[in-house]
Amino acid sequence: MRLVLLLPILLSAGCATPPSVPLEVRVPVALACQPPAIEVPRFATSDLRPDDDLQTKIRALLAERQQHLAYEVRLRAALDACR
């Protein structure tokens, strides 16, 4: 009989405890890198014709080398942005 009287009291005591507070956990999540699209430049030698003189061809090759170096710098910058 005593157990019957104590049972509702014991059961209601379990509801009196404060609710648990959600715990915030910060976990780093890996994201896919989306580098900006880098347009391939129009190189100087693409406009050369077979009958151009030697000086024109050499100037175009020298200019193209500078274009390649600048293009490489932009590609490396995009790659470094993803690291």
pLDDT digits (tens, 9 = 90+) for 15-46: 666 778 889 999 998 888 888 889 999 999 99
Q: Of residues 12 and 45, which shows the higher confidence score?
A: 45
Integer-rounded Cα radius of gyration of the chain:
36
The average confidence (pLDDT) of the chain is 87
Burial string for 37-46 (b: 16+ CB within 10 Å, else e) reads eeeeeebbee
Task: Give this prediction's pTM.
Answer: 0.58
pLDDT of the residue at 6? 75
Q: Of residues 43 and 7, which shows the higher confidence score?
A: 43
